[in-house]
């Protein structure tokens, strides 16, 4: 009888151990998937911001050269802005980390703010001094916001892990 009890207890312990190992493995897999999804979302935000800024600076270069803005160029900038919003929204759905979401919001706001700089006409390839100063400040602030977002994402993904993320 004791042999049977020991056998049953051993079987139950084995099942419990196997179940615990499976749960731990599933959690690890889920955390890795969350981290991968979050990394992808941040990469999409950063890429969308780069594209948006690139199109903005191409507009500035064309304006300096005296070229008129085209419907196609405006449409490309609007599509890029939509992609920024879409990527930012995806990131918001994947994390509740306030440092990461604040950094993403700031990077988006700084990039969009570029479009509010009224440049006017260029003379000999230059805008008015205050416009040049605004453009230089915008370039610096968008780069810094981009770097802050990248650092916040690195901190979230690599140091703290995905425990705060949601899938």
Taking the C-alpha atoms of residue 59 and residue 68, their distance in angstroms, rounded to an integer, is 9
Dihedral class, residue 66 (left if φ above 0, else alpha if ψ from -120 to 50, else beta): left
Asked, for residue 10, whether it belongs to a domain, the answer is no
User: Is 87 among the domain residues?
Assistant: yes
Burial of 128 (0-12, 13-18, 19+ CB in 10 A): middle
The answer to whether residue 18 sits within a structural domain is no
CA 79 vs. chain centroid, Å, equals 17
Assess if residue 142 is contained within a domain.
Answer: yes
Cβ atoms within 10 Å of 121's Cβ, excluding its own? 10
Q: What is the CATH number of the domain that holds 98?
A: 1.20.120
What's the domain count of the chain?
1
Residue 42 in domain? yes
What is the structure's pLDDT at 167? 41
How many Å apart are CA 62 and CA 116, to the nearest integer?
Answer: 17
Residue 64 maps to a domain: yes
pLDDT number for residue 38: 92
Q: Does 114 reside within a domain?
A: yes
Per-residue pLDDT of the chain (167 residues; tens, 9 = 90+): 777 877 777 777 777 777 777 778 777 878 888 889 999 999 999 999 999 999 999 999 999 999 999 999 999 999 999 999 999 999 999 998 999 999 999 999 999 999 999 999 999 999 999 999 999 999 999 999 999 999 999 998 887 544 444 44
> Residue 140: inside a domain, yes or no?
yes
Tell me the pTM. 0.80
In the chain, the N- to C-terminal Cα span, in Å, equals 49
Q: Cα separation of 65 and 2, whole Å?
A: 93
* Separation between Cα atoms, residue 102 and residue 95, nearest integer Å: 11
* Rounded Cα distance, 98 and 164, in Å: 10
Domain that holds residue 81: 38-164
pLDDT of residue 161: 45
Q: Say what the pLDDT of residue 39 is.
A: 92
pLDDT the model gives residue 156: 87
Within 8 A by CB and 6+ apart from 116, the residues are none
């Amino acid at each position: 009888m004791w042999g049977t009890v020991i056998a049953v207890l051993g079987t139950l312990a084995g099942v419990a151990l196997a179940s615990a190992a499976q749960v731990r493995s599933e959690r690890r897999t889920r955390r890795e998937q969350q981290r991968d999804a979050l990394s992808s979302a941040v990469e999409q935000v950063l890429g969308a911001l780069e594209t948006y800024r690139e199109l903005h600076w191409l507009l500035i270069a064309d304006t300096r050269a005296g070229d008129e803005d085209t419907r196609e160029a405006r449409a490309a900038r609007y599509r890029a802005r939509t992609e920024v919003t879409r990527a930012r929204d995806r990131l918001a759905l994947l994390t509740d980390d306030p440092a990461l979401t604040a950094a993403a919001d700031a990077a988006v706001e700084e990039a969009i703010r570029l479009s509010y700089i009224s440049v006017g006409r260029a003379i000999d390839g230059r805008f008015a001094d205050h416009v040049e100063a605004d453009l230089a400040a915008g370039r610096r602030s968008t780069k810094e916001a981009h770097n802050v977002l990248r650092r916040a994402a690195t901190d979230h993904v690599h140091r703290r892990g995905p425990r705060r993320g949601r899938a």
